[in-house]
Amino acid sequence: PNYCTDEVSNHALAMLLALNRKLLLTHRLIVEDRYSIDKIRPIIRLKDSTVGIVGMGNMGRSFGEKVRPLVKRVLVYDPYVDHPAGCEKVELVELCATADYISLHLPLLPETRNLIDRQLLEVMKPTACVINTGRGGTLDEEALAELLRDGRLGGAGLDVIETEPLPQNSPLRELSNVILTGHNAWYSEGSIRELKETAARQVIQILEGNRPNYAIA
């Protein structure tokens, strides 16, 4: 359960930084000889921003530790966490209405499917950005694409989507304020090695008559 915590939290942070500085949009404008600073306005100073984290498992906690020194406030929604260290626990509606960047770190369960639905997306700031490195299906992607296209949201960074690979007709492909990656936030050579070594150690522990670290029951 821990093998790629550093990679996924880094990936979410990288997406946040790229969205904040509008790196992808700036790159496209320069390549197409259409750049002017007016086309990337507004950029909110990061240290004046509020980040919202939805889900404070291993990945959410790691992301929170990394982003907290960079921003003004970190809000957290997780019904199973009472006192998130260094963060403010709030209800989901307040988080969505307040945060400039909202990072999802959720498993896909019946209670989390489409948790971030159209209603919650519509209460977000028109400059807000949504980042999902958790699981596809926890976010209403159709509503997200519509709001991004109409300028009612600032941007999105998506490593996971409900249908993978991304369908050819997805409107997300056409939006300049969306960063898409291929469900690869988990990946580094080190994370692969750690995954294999950890699994092997569990087998050894069982063969030696010991309880494994990550027993299900």
Query: Which residues are annotated as catalytic?
Result: 135, 164, 183
> 188, 195 in Cβ contact below 8 A?
no
Bridge-partner residues for 116, per DSSP? 139
Distance between CA atoms of residues 211 and 108, nearest Å: 28
Cα torsion 165, 161, 132, 215: sign: negative
Q: Which DSSP letter does residue 167 get?
A: P
> 128, 153 in Cβ contact below 8 A?
yes
Other CB atoms within 10 A of residue 141 CB: 22
> 113, 141 in Cβ contact below 8 A?
no
Residue given tokens 């906690």 in the structure block: 61
Structure token pair of residue 7: 């990679």
